[in-house]
Structures are given as structure tokens and as C-alpha cells.
Structure 1
Amino acid sequence: MKIIKPVLALSLALFFSNCSSNKLVVCGHRGAMGHATENTLASIEKAIELKADMLEIDVFKIKTGEMVVFHDDALDRITNAKGKIEEYSFEELRKVLVAGQHQIPTLQEVIETINRKVVLNIELKGANTATDTYKIIEEYKRKGWKNKDFFISSFRISELQKMRSLSNEIAIGLLTYKDPIEDVIKTGKELKAQAINPYHKTLTAANVAIMKANNFKIYPWTANEPADIKNLKELKVSGIITDYPERIVK
């Protein structure tokens, strides 16, 4: 059996004490996007109001180097602009309005809004996002934030690898879709991930048992319907990512 390094073991203890195994963690998806435009400060504030334990957001690095919070690689779906978000400068992006007349926030603006009220789950959505996300986390740690206030997730294995190379202490969740469970476990161990974040429809009692046997927390995405939420609770997952935090809190 592989021995976990003391620093990583301490990180695990801190993270799991923050998201207790005795409590189902409620993670607001892109804030609380069932109620407010996704990944906006309004959505973040709504998720906190609805008593989420964790908030998931998505980040891209734009042309001028800023880290911004947005889900799609293109602006077309929910803004008054078009084109790839990574090709915009910060000055240009500040003029873009998201549905509901919101601005696209920076990662720092989201962190300031959260103000350590909940854990921030940062999905590394775009390329080359790990290093700058790490730098921003370190900046806030100098202001009193802790590693346990942050959680990093991604489908991009290379970005998770980069994050792990930068820090043995930050908690990582491997996002998966229909990947074979053997591959998921192997990659999760290579990353020293603390959690697997699978598509909720792929979960079975069997693969949940395998993930638990390998000491991974399980945070499935994105369950909104009562029947799906009930099923996940019966599978005893660690937490649920949802557009409607109140449906799980109650």
C-alpha cells in the first residue's frame, strides 16, 4: 500500500473536516443557476442565500491574462457578444453583458463575494488555467484564506496534473462522464485526487462502492429532479452538485 505523504494527509484531513462525511455536501452549480444567470455574482449570492455548502464555478484565462468566470468557450449562448472568450481582452469583456444585464466576473470578484462563507469549487474549464488559479489561491491564502476553502475540479487531466504539481495540499476532484470505472480510479490515484465528480446518471451501487473502497469522495453532477436526488441520497454519495440547492437542503 502506498504511503500518503504527511503534507497531503494533513490536506486531506482539513478538507474532509470542512466537508464532513456525516453531512451531504450541497454544491450549487455555477452558483444557483436555477434561479439566477449562471456564473454571475447574483447566482453566487443566491446559492449562499439558499445555504449551499460549496459553489461550483468555471474559469477561463483571457487574452490579457485575467481569470474570468464563465462556462462556455464562446460568448454566443448567454451574452450580447459573439466569439471565443479566450480571445477577448479584459477591457472588451467588461463591455459584454450576460443575460440579465450582468457582467462576467473575475475569479477574484467571486472569491471576494463568497468571503469564506462556503467552499469554492473552481472548475478549470479553459486551457492554461491551473497556474493562474493557483497563484490567485495563494494570494488569498496570504489574506487569511485556507486550502480547505478551495476545491479544484476539471475534465482536463493536464490542468489537474499541473495543479497537483504546484500543490500537494489543494483538494482535487476528477470530473468524469461515461469513463470506465477502472480508468477513473487509475487517473484519480495518479492525481492524488480527493474526489470523483461523475455524471449522476452513470452512478450505480457497484461503481459507487468501488470509488468508496478506493477512498474517494463522490460529488455527482448535475442532479435537479427529486427522483434523481433521492437516488443519489440512497447511494450515499458525499455531496450533490445541483442548480437548485434548496431542493437538497430541505
Structure 2
Amino acid sequence: MNKPLVIGHRGAMGHETENTLASVQKALDLGVDMIEIDVFKIRSGEIVVFHDVSLERLTDGTGKIEAYNYDDLQNLTLEGGHKIPTLQEVINLMDKKAHLNIELKGSNTADRVNFIINYYVREKGWPLDKFLISSFKWEELKRMRALNPQIRIAILTDKDPLQAIAIGEELNALAINPYYKTLTLENVDKIQKEGFKVYPYTVNEVEDIKSMKQMGVDGIITNYPERID
């Protein structure tokens, strides 16, 4: 049985506040193969790492993150005393030590994310294949593919994963990232035979991890990277 890639969800959010530099560092400390983060483009143009549309759950602020400018966002504090990082801060911290799965959570993110990735490839020596772009917003993935014919893409879906095959073929995607409870031995096999990797999310319980391994998935997105041995 091949060992699946260990993919830290929002860093290692079982241990540190999600999508923070501390969470990313914890994932690196745990030896992950890849780290998954979420990004939005805010009003002043920066790409910031955050999961929710609104700020209330994790910060002392209110309202939609996309409505903020960078300076005002820096005045907010996340649970655990952290700040909301930029995409560049996460990439700098990772320093090529693992692959990075950037989920385009907000709208109109593809252009700026592509610009940032190209900078790190051109100026900092990051291999392009260290980056993987995923999204539930398939139109955003189409935009990314139009901008960057070579970037690796993963199709996120919470529905029947076989329905993602067509868009995966259209975008020449590397992987389909399905909700783990939608997977069976049969549909994993079918997806892989169509030429895609299977990276299910978010698999935290030991029994579920074991089940995913038995199905032969290629990677596992988890809050607890240390549970995948």
C-alpha cells in the first residue's frame, strides 16, 4: 500500500489557529509533504490567508474580510494572539520545505495569486510544481488556467467526485480534492484511471485515515498530520 502524501489542512489546525504562520510552522515541524491554505483578495489588493468570508468566528473584528484594507486588517487579532498573514508571508516561511496548496476561497483571486507565484518562481527559485491551486469556484480555476498553462490545479468538490472529472479534463488538472465521505473504492479507482490524483479532505479520525489508505488515495488533507503514518 503506497503511503499517501500528508497534507496539512490550513497548516496544522488541530494544533494551532488555522491559516496562521504558527499553524504553517507546526505543519512543517510535523514533516508534511504539502500545506493547504485559503486565500482572499482584500480591498487594498493584497492576498491574505483566511478561511471565512466573515471575520467574526476567528478574530476580534466584524464584517467581510474582502471589505478591509491591509492596515485595518493588521489591527485585528486572531484567536491565540495571531495576525492574519499574507500569502507572501506564508511562502517566505515555508521556504520550499513543502508543497503549497493554495485554495482560492474568495472571488477575483486568480490574477494576483498567479502574479505572486510567478514572482517566487522567477526571483526566489521556487519550482512551479511546488504550487497547487484548488477551488470550489471552478470559474476561478478556469481563470487561473488561462493565466498560467503550467500551474498545477486541483478540483475541489463536496458532491459526487465523478462529476468533477469533466472539468478536471478541461483544465488539465493534476488532482480532484473530494469530501472524503463521498469516496468509495470504485470511484477512487475510476478517478485515478482517468489520470487524476485523489486528495480527500478533511480526514482526522484514525479509522477514516485507515479507510482512505485502503481505498488507495494519493494524499490526505488533515488537521492532524502526525496521525498519518
Question: Which bracket does the TM-score occupy, shorter chain normalised?
Answer: over 0.9
Does residue 221 (structure 1) correspond to residue 201 (structure 2)? The answer is: yes
Aligned to 1:44: 24
Amino acid at match of 2:104: L
Please say if 1:84 is aligned against 2:64. yes
Per the alignment, in what secondary structure is the counterpart of residue 42 of structure 1?
helix
Whole-angstrom distance in 1 between the partners of 2:60 and 2:96: 32
Q: Is the 2:11–2:223 contact (alpha carbons within 8 Å) kept by the matching residues of 1?
A: yes
* Structure 1 position 144, deviation (Å): 0.8
The residue identity in structure 1 corresponding to 2:187 is N
Query: Which of residues 132, 144, 150 in structure 2 aligns to 1:169?
Result: 150
Partner-residue secondary structure (3-state), 1:229: helix
Shift in Å, 1:209 = 1.3
- Give the aligned partner of residue 62 of structure 1: 42
Distance (whole Å) between structure 2 residues aligned to residue 136 and residue 210 of structure 1: 35
Give the letter for the 2:137 counterpart. Answer: R
**How many pairs are equivalent?**
228
2:210 maps to 230
Instruction: Give the drift of 1:22.
Output: 5.0
Aligned residue in 2 for 1:154: 135
Read off the aligned partner of 2:74 and give its amino acid letter. R
> 1:180 deviation in Å?
5.8
Tell me by how many angstroms 1:179 deviates.
3.2
Hey, what does 2:91 align to over in structure 1?
111
Identity %: 56
Distance 1:247 1:105 in 2: 26
Q: For structure 1, which segment, 219-228 or 141-150, has the greater mean C-alpha deviation from structure 2 after superposition?
A: 141-150
Whole-Å separation in 2 of the counterparts to 1:144 and 1:109: 16
Distance 1:160 1:54 in 2: 20
C-alpha distance in 2 between matches for 1:236 and 1:22: 7
**2:134 & 2:100 partners in 1: Cα distance?**
10
**Other structure's SS at 1:100 match:** coil
1:110, CA displacement in angstroms? 0.3
Classify 1:31/1:145 alpha carbon distance in 2 versus 1 (closer, same or farther; 3 Å): same
Residue 72 of structure 1 corresponds to 52
Q: TM-score, normalised by structure 2?
A: 0.98
Q: CA deviation at 1:167?
A: 1.2
- Letter in structure 1 aligned against 2:218: S
Matched residue of 2:37: which SS?
Answer: strand
Residue in 1 aligned with 2:106? 126
Name segments (4+ residues, structure 1) moved above 6 Å.
none
Which residue among 171, 174, 180 is the counterpart of 1:200?
180
Instruction: Name stretches of at least 5 consecutive residues in structure 1 with no aligned partner.
Output: 1-20
